[in-house]
């Protein structure tokens, strides 16, 4: 009898006591945050916004293929520079054999690089859409809400501005509306499985976002990693130039220059390695901490002359020698490349670093031995001067163009004289300055496409080009289908509404 | 090859057991030291176990089972350690580098380059000063032998498990058994990259450590009832269980080695990064089971359980599963006078099992797929940041795996012939699947219960003593499995799901390849031809007409189509065992017939995208101007992406035959053993993985069930010699 009582007591204790509480099965992760709590307050929403800025310079997670050579948006900017003729390297390695320099990635629907380009910008857009949709209901000041919204709109416009140029044929202001297909247009966080829309529709969305962002006038941002109103205006000028809308390009480039918040760098600053967001002409850039550095997977690991990675040690980046020869001897930019490097005139951290003629020292890591640290320039005010000069020149305002160009050149070359060229010659001079000034920052390929120019890497145009580095892809005629990226295969696999593939 | 060695394996075990009137115990200890055939791949383990059971009272029994182990593993990097394409993966590196490059450094004149300090020749890592530089395809700056020697990848694991129970009998036919089990596991993973060659050079040495602790417990309470009334035997069980799994991890890294020879954190200059997280996974279950048999001839059983998982949302986390079974011993019924039948039974059962295993993109368990999350850690400089990472699916629920079995077991002629024939149909309902979303969507995939599929087939086991005499027997056991798989339901909005080399769709099997259709070689220039996708506008430059048929040479214009299944027609094995007096020999062979295999390792060796990489010797037969009828397209450095694109070209018949195990043993004669007070002793020689025959040299179709391969540590051929003795 005793044992029955004992067992009954034990049984009831255990069975009764162990019927678990409801919370027992409700577990929470510790490495992530619920999407419902992230938009409760503007402070939290700001966390979501900063995630996008980090994503822009972080080594990609969208593909595992050669991820080290894919530092977010920065890797795309570098990749498309390898699709031009001014930046190149001596061997078929990253950025050339991975499909950029030889134009294979763009034309291969399952290329890792292609997927990475497409996904990187759409992931930024998806994140921005959540912020734009939810910020109004967050708790916080009206000023904070409008600042966060303005930044998210600017980021969304920025992302679409690249997608439309990769996946659609060029915008032609003389053939409006530009009905050729571009990419899907997702403007709400709930948008899913959207069809491709026209180039015109994407540009309409970009300009609408930027105009809205400019109207919100986010002048007070935490630091230059944030895309405040000046970045929105700079981007508006950049997009207008691409749309051959020269009056708008002039208006906004001029506003930024006249605002004078980002004065051009001194000659001394120009030679500090383009790695510091505090340099005066950085309008917008990344600013990783040491912990956020990535020895092999950062932008600087790919291009800083003294980054100690196998890739960089063995493959210094070179400039088109013909372009180099057009730089005046007294121009500080002449010092960014070395036509005949030696141990004396081009010291390098280790004996295993290779030297090549016309190699670059434009980009440097912050300190040798750090995890390839540097602040990627997303936008510099030098570009605004170049936009202004080009837009004036292309709308036949040569005198204003000469002045706008001189504003930049006079800072770079202290003994420069103002150009007296006009017409095409002036445009050519502006473009030479643009190619030299923005080398390595992701402009040349887009300029070729925007202006409907051919790619020419033959010896006549680029005497030091190493043809084998790009599998002998040396010439592509203007308007060739190779200037158009194929939509990634994975998009077709997941999106029944996407529409036709590019030819 | 300097990476390979003859690994040695030492395995020693000692067991004791004993019994007193009211208690029994079992103690075991073991030591294993297993060296892989690659340098720096070792496994060392000490383990111990103790079981004690005690009948405290006539109605009360209790027991405790404790085991612990300590392992140290020097891990070779392969695709299982997450480094499929890494330079430190010996299998990937050695397969990829052109075999013309030397291990040690030579200058252009062929003279060895010596290290003046050690007097040894330097390793050639591809850009050693003075040595001949290697091109990109031959991984300059890297050297898998040198790096493997200098680096360290260690896993130290400690584990303790304890299980205790109390068994209380009451009211004659009832027992109540609460059981409590705990598992504690600690893994310390340590990575060290040397400052001389490879990834550690840049920061003058790098050390990373990950420490994770798993604490889990299971507590269940089971009430049993067993009763026999005459010819009827009844049993029943009800129970409750909770399972709690807690995982906690942190990691840190430092850079800048101070002194050679010490790889602990204290010997590094600069803190690099640190991180950590914790996860909880819980299940609560209520279960019951009942069984009945009549005269040990007719058996019936049934069970019902409800499981709640923390991986699903509160509204859909509970799943209900049941099983039913019956069997009939025919020979005990009306065949009792047929004396050549030893045993003949029919059985049939249907059972459901819940599955809540959801994997994230890194193939780790996903515990929170019901909710949408932002990942922490996307800090922008000093500002905190988070990035949208997953979409919510509050409807996500248990996958149910339902198995129906029906079969017959028999044993005839005093067990000269015996076997089992079983038909099975395993249906998966509410299949858990990570459904790919458009690349343009905010998240790339959403976990969903997408539909249903089944595996059905027949398994046959047949055994026979072919020869049975007093001194000699020959026993043969064979196994055949015929398997069929079909997807039966997918959601209307995603009727086709493409994942890797497969596409899932209703009416076809889950392992159906979906690939671009390769069509051969254009004899005029050796281009690879593909069947064109009729829905695409194909540029003239990408079109080809060969013998009046239109093809494309651009893989992006090629047609995707169903290309056959990875599932074999037949999986089988046979074991021959011979014994003669004290000597016995057994040989296990397994094989598969049919099925297709996508050989990406071969594709890699046939691809010509980068100078300096290794190439397959089949390329010697590739198309050239003088060999225009070749079935292998031209070796073209500039266009390898199109010529060697992922397509049906790389599919191969997955049939194989493997000699898995041969064992020869000799039992020492009893009259010797008695003298040394040993009750049993056996000497043996065993060979494992002795040979594999497949359609291509080096191809192991048994590497994966889905018919794909990667750079894994290949199966080792193991020869062992041993002695088993009991006292």
> Where do the domains of chain A lie?
43-59+68-232+409-494
Which residues from chain B sit within 8 angstroms of residue A107, using beta carbons?
A: 554, 556
Closest CA to A250 of A151, A393, A126: A393
Q: pLDDT at residue B522 above 60?
A: yes
The per-residue pLDDT for B22 is 87
Q: Do A471 and B638 touch (CB under 8 A)?
A: yes
CB B254 within 8 A of CB B271: yes
Beta bridge partners of A155: none
Q: Give the Cα separation of B719 and B661 in Å (integer).
A: 10
- Total domains in chain B come to 1
Q: Is the residue at B44 inside a domain?
A: yes
Is A188 in CB contact (< 8 Å) with chain B? no
The per-residue pLDDT for A10 is 55
DSSP string computed for A88-115 = E-SSS-TTTTTSSTTSTTTT-TT-HHHH
Q: Is the residue at B58 inside a domain?
A: yes
Q: Is the residue at B104 inside a domain?
A: no
Q: Do B437 and A192 touch (CB under 8 A)?
A: yes
Q: Please compute the mean of the pLDDT values over residues B39-49 and round it to a whole number.
A: 86
Q: Residue A2's closest chain B neighbor by CA?
A: B170
Q: Could you report the per-residue pLDDT of A158-191, keeping only the tens digit for each?
A: 999 999 999 999 999 999 999 999 999 999 999 9
Q: Could you report the per-residue pLDDT of B113-123, keeping only the tens digit for each?
A: 888 888 888 88
The per-residue pLDDT for B659 is 94
Q: pLDDT at residue A304 above 80?
A: yes
Q: Is the residue at B358 inside a domain?
A: no
DSSP-assigned letter for residue B627: B
Phi-psi region at B45: left, alpha or beta (left = phi > 0; alpha = psi -120 to 50): beta
Q: Give the Cα separation of B151 and B175 in Å (integer).
A: 57
Q: pLDDT at residue A325 above 90?
A: yes
The per-residue pLDDT for A271 is 96
Q: Do A109 and B223 touch (CB under 8 A)?
A: no
Is A118 in CB contact (< 8 Å) with chain B? yes
Chosen CATH of A43-59+68-232+409-494 out of 2.60.120.330, 1.25.40.390, 3.40.50.880, 3.40.50.720 = 1.25.40.390
Q: How many helices (H) and strands (E) does chain A have?
A: 17, 11
| Higher per-residue pLDDT: B150 or A428 | A428
Which residues from chain A sit within 8 angstroms of residue B176, using beta carbons?
A: 7, 10-11
DSSP-assigned letter for residue A361: -
Q: pLDDT at residue B719 above 90?
A: no
Q: Vertex A99, ends B85 and B621: CA angle to 5°?
A: 70
Q: Could you report the per-residue pLDDT of B10-28, keeping only the tens digit for each?
A: 888 888 888 888 899 999 9
The per-residue pLDDT for B2 is 66
Q: Could you report the per-residue pLDDT of B128-182, keeping only the tens digit for each?
A: 777 877 877 777 778 888 888 888 888 899 999 999 999 999 888 899 999 999 9
Is A130 in CB contact (< 8 Å) with chain B? yes
Evaluate the CA torsion angle A382, A384, A386, A388 in order and state its sign: negative
The per-residue pLDDT for B248 is 95
Q: Is the residue at B298 inside a domain?
A: no
DSSP string computed for B145-169 = HHHHHH-EEEEEEEEEEEEEEEEEE
E strand or H helix at B291, and its extent?
A: strand B268-294
Which residues from chain A sit within 8 angstroms of residue B535, using beta carbons?
A: 500
Q: Is the residue at B252 inside a domain?
A: no
Q: Which residues of A404-433 are buried (b: 16+ CB within 10 A; e: fewer)?
A: bbbbbbebbbeebeebebeeeebbebbbeb
| Higher per-residue pLDDT: A216 or B703 | A216
Q: Could you report the per-residue pLDDT of B605-629, keeping only the tens digit for each?
A: 998 877 788 899 999 999 999 999 9
By Cβ distance, the residue of A30, A53, A314 closest to B380 is A53
| Higher per-residue pLDDT: A4 or B185 | B185
Percentage of residues of chain B with pLDDT beyond 70: 98
> To 10 degrees, what angle do helices A381-394 and A423-437 make?
160
The per-residue pLDDT for A4 is 54
Q: Is the residue at B654 inside a domain?
A: no
Q: pLDDT at residue B476 above 60?
A: yes
Q: Please compute the mean of the pLDDT values over residues B680-694 and round it to a whole number.
A: 90
Q: Please compute the mean of the pLDDT values over residues A40-64 and round it to a whole number.
A: 94
The per-residue pLDDT for B272 is 84
Task: Lowest mean pLDDT of A383-392, B10-19, B374-383, name the range.
Answer: B10-19
Neighbours of B523 (CB within 10 A): 14
Q: Which of A37, A38, A43, A47 to mutate to test the interface with B (most CBs of B within 10 A)?
A: A47
Task: Lowest mean pLDDT of A5-9, A370-374, B402-406, B419-423, name the range.
Answer: A5-9
Which residues from chain A sit within 8 angstroms of residue B140, using beta carbons?
A: 310, 314
Q: pLDDT at residue B213 above 90?
A: yes
Q: Please compute the mean of the pLDDT values over residues B678-693 and round it to a whole number.
A: 88
Q: pLDDT at residue A317 above 60?
A: yes
Closest CA to B330 of B347, B346, B314, B318: B346
Q: Could you report the per-residue pLDDT of A219-261, keeping only the tens digit for each?
A: 999 999 999 999 999 999 999 999 999 999 999 999 999 999 9
For residue B588, the distance in angstroms to the closest alpha carbon of chain A comes to 40
Max Cα distance, chain B (Å): 96
CB B307 within 8 A of CB B379: no
Q: pLDDT at residue A7 above 70?
A: no
Beta bridge partners of B214: B185, B247
The per-residue pLDDT for A13 is 52
Q: pLDDT at residue B82 above 60?
A: no
The per-residue pLDDT for B536 is 86
| Higher per-residue pLDDT: A223 or B98 | A223
Structure tokens at B703: 């590497």
Q: Please compute the mean of the pLDDT values over residues B431-449 and round it to a whole number.
A: 91
The per-residue pLDDT for A239 is 98
Q: How many helices (H) and strands (E) does chain B have?
A: 5, 35
The per-residue pLDDT for A2 is 56
Q: Do A225 and B439 touch (CB under 8 A)?
A: no
Q: Please compute the mean of the pLDDT values over residues B31-50 and round it to a whole number.
A: 85
The per-residue pLDDT for B172 is 83
The per-residue pLDDT for A20 is 60
For residue B245, the distance in angstroms to the closest alpha carbon of chain A comes to 11
Beta bridge partners of B69: B47, B159
Please give the residue range of the domain that contains residue B30.
1-74
Q: Residue A349's closest chain B neighbor by CA?
A: B202
What confidence category does residue A320 fall into, taking pLDDT thresholds of 50, 70 and 90? very high
Q: Do B436 and A490 touch (CB under 8 A)?
A: yes
What confidence category does residue A156 fall into, taking pLDDT thresholds of 50, 70 and 90? very high
Q: Which of B193, B388, B604 to mutate to test the interface with A (most CBs of A within 10 A)?
A: B388
CB B89 within 8 A of CB B83: yes
Mean confidence (pLDDT) of chain B: 89
> In Å, how far from its chain's centre is CA B78?
13
Q: Give the Cα separation of B490 and B454 in Å (integer).
A: 13
Is A289 in CB contact (< 8 Å) with chain B? yes
Q: Please compute the mean of the pLDDT values over residues B504-529 and round it to a whole number.
A: 93
């Amino acid at each position: 009898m005793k044992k029955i009582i004992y067992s009954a007591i034990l049984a009831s204790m255990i069975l009764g006591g162990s019927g678990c509480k409801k919370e027992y099965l409700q577990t929470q992760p510790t490495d992530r945050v619920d999407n419902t709590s992230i938009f409760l307050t503007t402070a939290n929403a700001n966390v979501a916004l900063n995630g996008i800025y980090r994503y822009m310079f972080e080594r990609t997670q969208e593909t595992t293929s050669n991820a080290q050579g894919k530092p977010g948006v920065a890797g795309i900017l570098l990749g498309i520079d390898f699709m031009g003729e001014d930046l190149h390297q001596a061997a078929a390695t990253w950025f050339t054999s991975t499909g950029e320099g030889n134009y294979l990635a763009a034309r291969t629907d399952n290329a890792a690089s292609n997927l990475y380009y497409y996904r990187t910008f759409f992931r930024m857009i998806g994140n921005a859409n959540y912020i734009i949709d939810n910020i109004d209901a967050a708790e916080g000041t009206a000023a904070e809400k409008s600042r966060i919204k303005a930044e998210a709109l600017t980021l969304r416009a920025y992302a679409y501005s690249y997608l439309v140029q990769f996946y659609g044929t060029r915008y032609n202001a003389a053939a409006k509306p530009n009905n050729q297909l571009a990419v899907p247009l997702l403007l709400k966080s709930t948008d899913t499985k959207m069809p491709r829309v026209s180039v015109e529709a994407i540009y309409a969305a970009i300009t609408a976002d930027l105009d809205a962002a400019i109207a919100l006038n986010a002048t007070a941002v935490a630091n230059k990693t944030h895309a405040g109103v000046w970045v929105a205006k700079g981007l508006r000028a950049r997009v207008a130039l691409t749309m051959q809308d020269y009056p708008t390009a002039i208006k906004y480039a001029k506003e930024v220059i006249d605002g004078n918040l980002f004065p051009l760098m001194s000659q001394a600053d120009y030679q500090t390695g383009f790695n510091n967001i505090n340099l005066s002409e950085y309008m917008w850039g990344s600013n990783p901490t040491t912990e956020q550095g990535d020895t092999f997977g950062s932008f600087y690991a790919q291009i800083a002359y003294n980054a100690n990675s196998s890739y960089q040690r063995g493959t210094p980046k070179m400039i088109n020698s013909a372009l180099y020869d057009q730089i005046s001897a007294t121009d500080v930019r002449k010092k960014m490349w070395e036509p005949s490097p030696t141990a004396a005139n081009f010291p390098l951290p280790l004996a295993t670093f290779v030297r090549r003629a016309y190699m670059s020292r434009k980009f440097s890591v912050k300190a040798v031995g750090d995890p390839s640290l540097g602040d990627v320039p997303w936008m510099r005010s030098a570009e605004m001067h170049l936009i202004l000069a080009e837009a004036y020149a292309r709308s036949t305002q040569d005198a204003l163009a000469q002045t706008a160009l001189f504003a930049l050149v006079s800072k770079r070359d202290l003994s420069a004289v103002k150009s007296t060229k006009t017409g095409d010659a002036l445009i050519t001079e502006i473009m030479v300055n643009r190619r030299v000034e923005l080398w390595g920052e992701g402009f040349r390929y887009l300029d070729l496409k925007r202006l409907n120019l051919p790619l020419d890497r033959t010896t006549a145009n680029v005497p030091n080009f190493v043809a084998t580095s790009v599998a002998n892809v040396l010439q592509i005629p203007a308007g060739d289908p190779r200037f158009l990226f194929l939509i990634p295969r994975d998009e077709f696999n997941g999106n029944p509404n996407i529409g036709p593939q590019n030819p | 090859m300097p990476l390979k060695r003859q690994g040695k394996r030492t395995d020693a075990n000692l067991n004791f057991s004993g019994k007193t009137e009211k208690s029994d115990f079992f103690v075991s200890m073991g030591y294993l030291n297993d060296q892989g055939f690659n340098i720096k791949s070792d496994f060392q383990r000490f383990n111990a176990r103790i079981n004690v059971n005690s009948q405290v009272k006539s109605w009360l029994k209790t027991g405790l089972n404790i085991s612990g182990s300590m392992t140290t593993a020097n891990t070779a990097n392969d695709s299982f350690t997450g480094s499929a394409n890494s330079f430190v993966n010996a299998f990937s590196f050695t397969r990829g580098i052109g075999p013309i490059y030397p291990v040690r450094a030579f200058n252009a004149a062929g003279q060895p380059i010596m290290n003046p300090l050690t007097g040894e020749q330097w390793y050639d890592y591809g850009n050693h000063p003075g040595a001949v530089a290697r091109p990109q395809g031959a991984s300059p700056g890297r050297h898998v032998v040198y790096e493997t020697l200098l680096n360290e990848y260690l896993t130290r694991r400690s584990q303790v498990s304890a299980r205790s129970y109390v068994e209380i009998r009451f009211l004659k036919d009832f027992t109540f058994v609460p059981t409590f089990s705990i598992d504690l596991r600690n893994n310390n993973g340590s990575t060290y990259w040397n400052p001389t060659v490879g990834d550690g050079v840049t920061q003058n040495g790098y050390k990373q450590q990950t420490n994770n602790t798993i604490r889990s417990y299971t507590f269940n309470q089971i009430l049993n009832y067993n009763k026999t009334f005459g010819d009827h035997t009844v049993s029943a069980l009800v129970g409750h269980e909770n399972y709690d799994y807690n995982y906690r991890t942190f990691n840190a890294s430092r850079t800048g080695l101070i002194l050679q020879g010490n790889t602990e954190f204290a010997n590094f200059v600069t803190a690099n990064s640190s991180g950590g997280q914790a996860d909880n996974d819980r299940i609560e279950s209520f279960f019951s089971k009942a069984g009945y048999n009549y005269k040990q001839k007719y058996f019936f059983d049934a069970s019902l359980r409800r499981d709640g998982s923390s991986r699903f949302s509160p509204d859909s986390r509970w799943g209900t599963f049941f099983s039913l079974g019956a069997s009939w011993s025919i020979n005990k019924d009306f065949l009792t006078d047929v004396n050549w039948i030893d045993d003949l039974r029919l059985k049939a059962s249907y059972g459901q099992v819940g599955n809540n295993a959801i994997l994230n993109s890194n193939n780790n368990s996903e515990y929170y797929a019901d909710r949408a999350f932002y990942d922490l850690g996307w800090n922008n400089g000093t500002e905190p940041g988070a990035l949208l990472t997953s979409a919510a699916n509050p409807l996500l629920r248990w996958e149910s795996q339902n198995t129906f079995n029906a079969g017959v077991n028999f044993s005839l002629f005093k067990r000269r012939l015996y076997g089992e024939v079983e038909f099975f149909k395993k249906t998966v309902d509410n299949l858990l699947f990570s459904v790919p979303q458009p690349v343009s969507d905010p998240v790339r995939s959403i976990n969903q219960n997408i539909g249903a599929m089944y595996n059905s087939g027949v398994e046959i086991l047949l055994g026979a003593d072919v020869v049975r005499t007093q001194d000699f027997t020959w026993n043969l056991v064979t196994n055949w499995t015929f398997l069929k798989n079909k997807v039966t339901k997918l959601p209307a909005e995603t009727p086709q799901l493409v994942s890797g080399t497969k596409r899932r769709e209703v009416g076809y099997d889950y392992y159906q390849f979906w690939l671009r259709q390769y069509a051969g070689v254009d004899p005029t220039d050796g281009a690879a031809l593909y069947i064109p996708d009729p829905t695409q506008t194909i540029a003239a430059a990408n079109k080809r007409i060969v013998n009046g048929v239109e093809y494309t040479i651009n893989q992006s214009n090629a047609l995707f189509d169903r290309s056959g299944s990875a599932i074999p027609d037949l999986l089988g094995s046979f074991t021959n065992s011979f014994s003669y007096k004290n000597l016995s020999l057994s040989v296990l062979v397994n094989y598969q017939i049919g099925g297709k295999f996508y050989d990406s390792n071969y594709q890699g060796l046939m691809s010509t995208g980068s100078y300096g990489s290794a190439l397959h010797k089949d390329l010697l037969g590739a198309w050239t101007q003088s060999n225009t009828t070749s079935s292998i397209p031209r070796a073209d450095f500039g266009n390898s992406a199109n010529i060697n694109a992922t397509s049906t070209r790389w599919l191969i018949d997955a049939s194989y035959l493997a000699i898995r195990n041969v064992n020869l043993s000799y039992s020492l004669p009893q009259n010797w053993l008695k003298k040394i007070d040993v009750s049993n002793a056996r000497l043996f020689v065993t060979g494992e993985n002795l040979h594999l025959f497949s359609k291509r040299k080096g191809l192991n179709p048994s590497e994966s069930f889905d018919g794909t391969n990667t750079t894994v540590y290949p199966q080792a051929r193991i020869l062992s010699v041993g002695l088993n003795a009991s006292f």
